[in-house]
Amino acid sequence: MIRLPFLRHLFAIFIALIVFAGPASQAHAADSEKLRALAREFNALNTLIRDNQVERSEAKERFKELIQALSREYRAAGGVEYPEPTWCFPLKGYGYRAIGGVRGNGYQQGGYDYFAGNRHTGHPSHDIFIHDKRQKGIDDRTGTPVQVLSMTGGVVVAGEKEWQPGSRLRGGKYLWILDPATGSLVYYAHNRALRVEVGDLVRPGDVIAEVGRTGLNAYRKRSPTHLHLTVLSVAGGLPVPRNPYRALSTSRLTD
């Protein structure tokens, strides 16, 4: 039989935990909501840039401000910093051999400019192809969609869920994830469906989407089903293309 004094002692400990943990939990929740609000602001800015609806100078200034604020609040909200050796290959069940081209030569920086939005040139990216002969967005080997995994840790800062055939949007259903630990902004495009929301925290290997065929060119029959992956370095405040081929070729694989 449990004695009454023992129950009183347990109750006192429970109350103490609430008193001492309460303010910290509330502060953490407030920081998380602040991070989510900043991510929504970035998403709105990214859409304006994408659609060429904002002046370049204004876009650059606001971009730098938001990247700095997001990086700061990410840490305040308890975001974990994952170094590059912990990165994960972004397609479940696939490895670097699925990357298009020969030894990553599909990466062509050209005259790429993030601030040109949907009109940008160049291909500072890697297309990672899946086995999908019928072009249905279904893996021939498993009969199921292929999961897109977050390569890095970070926070989801932009996304587009509403793409429909006939749209001129090249990325289709896409995601942007900011990784403050390495100063990277990672773009995942042509997805079938998104599995995360703007403001969500992610870890390397988390499921964020499914491979699809959305986007102006990716939807066409001539295009094999693939994930379009771009990595931009924002360590200097403004986005600069980075070739992630070496990181992809050594990243952790998931079956």
Query: Per-residue pLDDT averaged across 11-26, rounded?
Result: 49
Q: Which has the higher per-residue pLDDT, 39 or 18? A: 39
Q: All domains of the chain, ordered by start, with CATH? A: 1-255 (2.70.70.10)
Q: What is the mean pLDDT of residues 59-86?
A: 97
Averaged pLDDT for residues 193-217? 98
Q: What is the pLDDT of residues 105-129, one digit of tens each?
A: 999 999 999 999 999 999 999 999 9
Residue 3 has a pLDDT of 52
**pLDDT for residue 255:** 85
* 126-134: average pLDDT: 98
Helix axes 4-50, 56-76, angle to 10 degrees: 170
From the number of C-beta atoms within 10 Å of its C-beta (0-12, 13-18, 19+), residue 119 rates as: exposed
Reduce the DSSP state of residue 194 to 3 states and report it: strand
pLDDT at 45 over 80: yes
d(CA 98, CA 143): 18
Residue 223 is which amino acid? Answer: S
The DSSP string of 132-153 is -TT-SS--TTTSSPPEEE-SS-
Confidence label for 29 from pLDDT (cuts 50, 70 and 90): confident
User: Average pLDDT for residues 32-59, to the nearest whole number?
Assistant: 98
Instruction: Using CB atoms within 10 Å of the CB of residue 239, give its burial: 0 to 12 exposed, 13 to 18 middle, 19+ buried.
Output: buried
What pLDDT, on a 0 to 100 scale, did the predictor assign at position 136? 95
Enter the pTM of the model. Answer: 0.89
Closest Cα to residue 190, out of 155, 157, 165? 165
Q: Which residue bears the tokens 């896409």?
A: 174
pLDDT at 16 over 50: no
Rounded CA-CA distance 254/142 in Å is 15
Query: pLDDT (tens digit, 9 = 90+) per residue, 154-172?
Result: 999 999 999 999 999 999 9
